[in-house]
C-alpha cells in the first residue's frame, strides 16, 4: 500500500533529525540553570582539555630541538645551549606527562557531571514508566523495555563524554596542527594533510553509516532474544509442565541466529573500515614525510624538522584512528537515547487534573453511575453499570468470565478512566482527585498475589514502609501467617524467591492479606482473592478476609459463590450489565440467573465448600 511504512527502520534524514533532537534534550543536563556547580565543573573540564591539547601540540617542538641538538643543527641561543639535548629530552617527557595529567584531570572533574546526568535521566525514565497506563504496560514486553532503558542510559554517559572530549578536541587539535604546518613549513604540507583528513572523514562516515544500519539490526535481534529469554524464564513452571525446554531453546536459538548473522556482518565491515582507514592514513603520512625528506636533502629543513613532521602526523593519526569507532558509537548512542526519549514522550493515559486535590474519605461510600467502558472503543465491556457500596458495607460482584467484574476493580483504582458515566467515592469523582491519594485509600487482595524477590518482612512492610516491626507482626498474626513464619529457619528474613515462588498459593495470599492489613485502607477490593486456592485453604483465608473487612467498605469480585453468601448485597453482572441484585437468600429465592449459578456450583465436586 502506497504511503505505508513497511519497516520500523528510520531513514537517514529521520535519524539525523532525531539525533539533533536528542542532543538538544541532553544539553540541559550539561548546563542546568539551577545547579551552578555543574556549570563550574564543565568550564573547568573544558579548560583542562584545552591545556592538554595546547601542550600536546607543542610537545613535538621539544622532540625536534633535542634531535637537532644531537645532530649539531640546533639553533644558537644561551637557553638552548644551557639546557642541551638531555634537558630537551626531559622537557619532551614532561610535556607528554602533563598532557596525560590534564586529560585525567579533565575526566576527574567531569565524572560527577556525567554521573549526575545519567542518574537523573535513569530516575526520570523509571518514574515515567510507572506513570504510564496499564494499557501501555500490557502491550509492551518487559525484556524489551528494560533493554531500551539500559542502552539509553549508557548512551547518555557515552554521548556526554565523547561529544565533549573526542569530537571537539579532535577538531581543535587538527586545527592547531594544520596552522603549525602552514606557518612553520609551507602550504603543500597543509594541502596533503587536509586532503588526507577529508578523504579519511568521508570514507569513515560513509562506511560507518552502512555499519550503523547493520548495528541497528543487531540491536533488534538482541532485544528479541532478550525478550524471549525473559519471557521463558518468567514462565519457568509452564515450560516444565509442557516439557517445552527444547522448544524454548529452539526459539531462543532462532533469535540468536539472527543476532549472530548481524554480528558477523558487523565484524566483517569493521575489518573493511580499518583497512581502508589505514590505507588513507599511511598514504598521507608517506606524502608528508616525502615532502619533509626532500626539504632535508635541499638543506631547507633539519633532521629535527623531519622528525617533528613525523610526530605531528602520528599525533593526527591517533585520534583519527578512533574517529570511526567514536562516530559509530555516537550514532548508536543517539539511536539508543532516541528510543529512551520516545519512551519518555509516551503520554500517560490517566493523568491528574491541574491542581487536583487529595481525596477525603469520610465513610468509604463507592458509587458507579451509568458507567460505560471498553478496553477497545469498538467493544464495550461495561454498558451502563450502576451500583452503590454504602459506607462499611460489603457487596459482592459475581458473573461469568468476561462479564466485566475485574474491570470494575481496575476502574476503581483508576488504571483506566470511564468512557461515560462516573465513579465516585464519598461524592468525589475519582477523575477529579490525585491518583496517589486515591491509591492510598484502597487496599487490594488480587487473585494471585505477586511478591517481590525479597524477604517476607519486606513484602509485608510494603503496605506501609514506615511501620514498626510490632505492627508488621500484628498484621501477620491477623492474616494467620505469623506462626508459619516463625517455623522458618530465617523467620521474617526468609527470601520468598522471584514472584514469591518459594511459598505456596495460600502462604502468598496470607502475605498479601497481611500487607493490605498493614496499609489499613478504608476501602477494600478483593479480586477473586481465593479462587486459585483449594477449598480448605480458601475456608481458612476466608476467615482472615472476613476479619479484614470489618469496619471497611468491601467490594468482593468472586467466581465461587460460596465466598459471597454473607455479603450485604450481591450484584450479578452479565455481558456488562447488572441483571440481578440482592442478598444471597433473596436471589436464590428469585430463581433467576444467580439461583442457576448457585445450583450448578452446588453440584460440583467441591460443593462442600458451600
Same-domain check for residues 397 and 310: no
pLDDT score for 410: 87
Q: Are residues 319 and 401 in the same domain?
A: no
- 310 and 422 in a single domain? The answer is no
Long-range pairs, 320-326, Cβ under 8 A, ≥24 = 320/170, 320/197, 320/200, 320/277, 320/281, 321/277, 321/281, 322/166, 323/170, 323/200, 323/201, 323/204, 324/204, 324/207, 324/208, 324/273, 324/274, 324/277, 326/162, 326/166, 326/167
**pLDDT at position 9:** 46
| For residues 482-498, average pLDDT | 87
Beta-carbon-side half-sphere exposure of residue 167 (alpha carbons within 13 Å):
16
Q: How far is Cα 597 from Cα 591, in angstroms, rounded to an integer? A: 10
**CATH number of the CATH domain containing 528:** 3.40.50.300
pLDDT at 425 over 90: yes
Residue 450 sits in the same domain as residue 489: yes
Last residue of a domain, one of 310, 344, 378: 344
Query: Could you say which DSSP state residue 592 is in?
Result: S
Tell whether 291 and 374 lie within a shared domain: no
- Is the pLDDT at 83 greater than 70? The verdict is no
> Do the domain assignments include residue 30?
yes
Q: Give a yes or no: residue 42 inside a domain.
A: yes
Residue 125 lies in a domain: yes
Q: Clarify whether residues 277 and 405 are in a common domain.
A: no
Q: Is residue 55 part of a domain?
A: yes
Domain count, the chain: 2
Q: Quick one: 126 and 251 in the same domain?
A: yes
**SS3 call for 383:** strand
Domain identity same for 536 and 457: yes
- The Cα 91–Cα 96 span in angstroms is 9
pLDDT in tens, 363-418: 889 999 999 998 877 788 899 899 999 888 999 999 888 888 888 988 998 888 88
pLDDT tens track for 530-565: 665 666 666 766 777 777 777 788 998 887 788 888
Are 262 and 384 within one domain? no
Question: What is the distance between the alpha carbons of residues 574 and 564, in angstroms, rounded to a whole number?
Answer: 17
- 388/329 same-domain check: no
For residue 134, what pLDDT is reported?
Answer: 63
Domain check: are 164 and 44 in the same one?
A: yes
Task: Summarize the confidence of residues 175-179 as an average pLDDT.
Answer: 85
- Where is the domain boundary, 313, 344, 375? 344
Whole-number pLDDT of residue 235: 82
Domain of residue 465 covers 366-609
Rounded (5°) CA angle 603-605-608: 85
pLDDT band of 6, cuts 50, 70, 90? very low
Evaluate if pTM is beyond 0.75: no
- Residue 2 falls inside a structural domain: no
Residue 549 within a domain: yes
Question: Hey, is 74 helix, strand or coil?
Answer: coil
Q: The sheet that has 577-582: what strands, in order across it?
A: 442-445, 523-527, 553-557, 394-398, 569-574, 577-582
Q: What is the CATH number of the domain that holds 106?
A: 1.20.1560.10
Please report whether residue 356 resides in a domain. no
Is residue 354 in some structural domain? no
Shared domain check, 175 and 58: yes
pLDDT digits (tens, 9 = 90+) for 323-375: 666 776 777 777 777 777 777 777 777 788 888 899 999 888 999 999 999 88
Angle among Cα 554, 560, 562 to the nearest 5 degrees reads 80
Given 344, 379, 411, the domain boundary residue is 344
So what's the pLDDT on residue 537? Answer: 64
Amino acid at each position: 500500500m502506497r504511503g505505508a511504512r513497511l519497516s520500523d527502520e528510520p531513514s537517514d534524514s529521520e535519524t539525523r533529525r532525531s539525533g539533533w533532537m536528542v542532543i538538544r534534550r541532553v544539553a540541559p543536563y550539561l548546563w542546568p540553570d539551577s545547579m551552578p556547580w555543574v556549570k563550574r565543573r564543565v568550564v573547568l573540564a573544558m579548560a583542562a582539555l584545552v591545556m592538554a591539547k595546547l601542550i600536546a601540540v607543542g610537545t613535538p617542538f621539544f622532540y625536534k630541538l633535542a634531535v637537532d641538538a644531537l645532530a649539531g643543527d640546533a639553533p644558537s641561543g644561551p637557553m638552548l645551549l644551557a639546557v642541551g639535548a638531555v634537558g630537551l629530552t626531559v622537557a619532551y617527557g614532561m610535556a607528554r606527562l602533563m598532557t596525560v595529567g590534564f586529560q585525567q584531570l579533565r575526566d576527574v572533574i567531569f565524572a560527577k557531571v556525567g554521573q549526575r546526568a545519567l542518574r537523573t535521566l535513569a530516575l526520570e525514565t523509571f518514574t515515567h514508566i510507572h506513570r504510564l497506563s496499564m494499557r501501555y504496560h500490557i502491550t509492551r514486553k518487559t525484556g524489551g523495555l528494560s533493554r531500551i532503558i539500559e542502552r539509553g542510559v549508557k548512551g547518555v554517559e557515552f554521548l556526554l563524554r565523547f561529544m565533549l572530549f573526542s569530537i571537539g578536541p579532535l577538531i581543535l587539535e587538527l586545527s592547531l596542527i594544520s596552522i603549525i604546518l602552514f606557518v612553520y613549513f609551507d602550504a603543500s604540507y597543509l594541502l596533503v594533510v587536509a586532503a588526507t583528513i577529508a578523504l579519511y572523514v568521508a570514507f569513515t562516515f560513509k562506511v560507518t553509516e552502512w555499519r550503523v544500519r547493520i548495528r541497528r539490526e543487531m540491536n533488534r535481534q538482541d532485544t528479541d532474544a532478550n525478550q524471549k529469554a525473559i519471557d521463558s524464564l518468567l514462565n519457568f513452571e509452564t515450560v516444565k509442565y509442557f516439557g517445552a525446554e527444547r522448544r524454548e531453546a529452539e526459539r531462543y536459538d532462532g533469535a540468536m541466529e539472527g543476532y549472530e548473522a548481524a554480528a558477523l556482518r558487523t565484524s566483517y565491515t569493521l575489518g573493511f573500515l580499518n583497512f581502508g582507514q589505514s590505507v588513507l592514513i599511511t598514504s598521507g603520512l608517506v606524502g608528508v614525510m616525502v615532502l619533509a625528506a626532500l626539504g632535508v636533502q635541499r638543506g631547507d629543513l633539519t633532521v629535527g624538522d623531519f622528525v617533528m613532521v613525523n610526530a605531528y602526523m602520528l599525533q593526527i593519526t591517533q585520534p583519527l584512528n578512533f574517529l570511526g569507532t567514536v562516530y559509530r558509537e555516537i550514532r548508536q548512542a543517539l539511536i539508543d537515547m532516541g528510543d529512551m526519549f520516545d519512551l519518555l514522550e509516551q503520554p500517560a493515559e490517566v493523568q491528574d487534573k491541574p491542581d487536583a486535590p487529595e481525596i477525603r474519605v469520610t465513610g468509604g461510600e463507592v458509587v458507579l453511575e451509568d458507567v460505560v467502558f471498553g478496553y477497545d472503543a469498538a467493544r464495550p465491556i461495561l454498558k451502563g453499570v450502576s451500583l452503590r457500596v454504602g459506607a462499611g458495607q460489603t457487596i459482592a460482584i459475581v458473573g461469568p468470565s468476561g462479564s466485566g467484574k475485574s474491570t470494575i476493580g481496575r476502574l476503581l483504582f483508576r488504571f483506566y478512566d470511564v468512557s461515560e458515566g462516573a465513579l465516585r467515592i464519598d461524592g468525589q469523582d475519582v477523575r477529579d482527585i490525585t491518583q496517589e491519594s486515591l491509591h492510598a485509600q484502597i487496599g487490594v487482595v488480587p487473585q494471585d498475589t505477586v511478591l517481590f524477590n525479597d524477604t517476607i518482612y519486606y513484602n509485608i512492610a510494603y503496605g506501609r514502609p514506615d511501620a514498626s516491626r510490632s505492627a508488621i507482626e500484628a498484621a501477620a498474626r491477623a492474616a494467620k501467617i505469623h506462626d508459619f513464619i516463625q517455623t522458618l529457619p530465617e523467620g521474617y528474613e526468609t527470601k520468598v524467591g522471584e514472584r514469591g515462588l518459594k511459598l505456596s498459593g495460600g502462604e502468598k495470599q496470607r502475605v498479601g492479606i497481611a500487607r493490605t492489613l498493614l496499609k489499613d485502607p478504608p476501602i477494600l477490593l478483593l479480586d477473586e482473592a481465593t479462587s486459585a486456592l483449594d477449598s480448605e485453604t480458601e475456608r481458612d483465608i476466608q476467615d482472615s478476609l472476613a476479619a479484614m473487612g470489618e469496619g471497611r467498605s468491601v467490594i468482593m469480585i468472586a467466581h465461587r459463590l460460596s465466598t459471597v453468601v454473607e455479603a450485604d448485597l450481591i450484584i450479578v453482572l452479565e455481558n456488562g450489565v447488572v441483571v440481578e441484585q440482592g442478598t444471597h437468600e433473596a436471589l436464590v429465592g428469585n430463581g433467576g440467573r444467580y439461583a442457576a449459578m448457585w445450583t450448578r456450583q452446588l453440584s460440583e465436586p467441591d460443593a462442600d465448600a458451600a
